[in-house]
Amino acid sequence: MISKIQKQRITEYLNKGKRFDNRTLEEFRDIKVEMNISENAEGSCALKLGNTEVYCGVKLSIGTPYPDHEDEGTLSTTMELGPMADNNFEMGPPRIGAIEMARVIDRGIRESGFIDFKKLCIEKGEKVWMIALDIYAINNDGNLLDAGSLAALIALANAKLPVYNEEEEKAEHQLSKNPLPINKEAMSFNLTIHKIGEGLVIDPSREEEEISEYRLSIAICENKGEPRITAMQKGKEGTISEEDMEKILKLIEDKYKEQYPKVTKLVFGK
């Protein structure tokens, strides 16, 4: 919990355009990625955004498609927020915060067309590849949503399909050389803005996140050279004014153009 005095100090500093870690209001922390951290996953990575750290794993299995999408594979996304990452997180089934993060990340990926689900079909109406995307918070120092979104993209882009045994109609316990059917041009990553005092803050620390009035997360991809929103989610109780919304959209557009080359290199290695 943040004390009133600490909240006041952070807000006053932000109103002057400063932050206690010497970043500007629109500056991201350094990102570090470690690949293939799990031997049992088809794709995995560890990602650090400043001191915020998440693990992400991709697991594939064969299952039955949904009746209204008989020729498409499936995607399910989970976010685990445990006490190891933050004393405020609890053991047990996912709480509303974890469910919300998972859904926002899932929607941004799904609606962008990043995964070609039709190419995950093995036999229409009978067998498809099912993707389980699992994200684990290891340390919470703010902005788990953006960290988890980026880790998910990296793990998916580097995952390999298991070998499929056609005679026995099952997946083998070894990976093929075939990557997941990914549309690189449709890569959509998440940018989250927090309103604190008079300022709009990108990549908040844990303390900044806790005292913000509202949060707006926007997943965005490229569309013929221009940014396209694939998902949007507002959080917390504060109200977004029309003026703030215009500022947010302009800020998102500017930061997208700045971050797109960096994110592309992290996700695809070039």
The count of domains in the chain is 1
What percent of the chain has pLDDT above 70?
99
For 36-47, how does the pLDDT look when each residue is reduced to its tens digit (9 = 90+)? 999 899 999 999
10 falls within a domain: no
pLDDT at 269: 86
**Segments forming the whole domain that contains residue 242:** 21-268
Please give the residue that has the higher pLDDT: either 128 or 1.
Answer: 128
pLDDT at 225: 72
Cβ atoms within 10 Å of 25's Cβ, excluding its own: 20
142 falls within a domain: yes
The predicted model gives 55-60 an average pLDDT of: 97
pLDDT band at 1, cuts 50/70/90?
A: low
252 falls within a domain: yes
pLDDT at 47: 98
60 falls within a domain: yes
168 falls within a domain: yes
Q: How many residues does the chain have?
A: 270
For 173-230, how does the pLDDT look when each residue is reduced to its tens digit (9 = 90+)? 888 899 999 999 999 999 999 999 999 999 999 999 999 999 999 999 887 777 889 8
Q: Give the CATH number of the domain where residue 44 resides.
A: 3.30.230.70
9 falls within a domain: no
pLDDT band at 242, cuts 50/70/90?
A: very high
7 falls within a domain: no
Crossing angle of the two packed helices 242-268 and 144-157, in degrees rounded to 10: 30
pLDDT at 115: 96
pLDDT band at 169, cuts 50/70/90?
A: confident
> Which of 95-99, 164-168, 209-213, 249-253 is predicted with the least confidence, judged by mean pLDDT?
164-168
Q: Is the pLDDT of residue 248 over 80?
A: yes
pLDDT at 6: 86
14 falls within a domain: no
User: Which amino acid is located at 43 in the chain?
Assistant: G
Tokens of 50: 């400043």
User: Which three-class secondary structure string do you get for the chain?
Assistant: CCCHHHHHHHHHHHHCCCCCCCCCCCCCCCEEEEECCCCCCCEEEEEEECCEEEEEEEEEEEECCCCCCCCCCEEEEEEECCCCCCCCCCCCCCCHHHHHHHHHHHHHHHHHCCECHHHHEEECCCEEEEEEEEEEEEECCCCHHHHHHHHHHHHHHCCEEEEEECCCCEEEEEEEEEECCECHHHCCEEEEEEEECCEEEECCCHHHHHHCCEEEEEEEEEECCEEEEEEEEEECCCCCCHHHHHHHHHHHHHHHHHHHHHHHHHHHCC
The predicted model gives 141-169 an average pLDDT of: 93
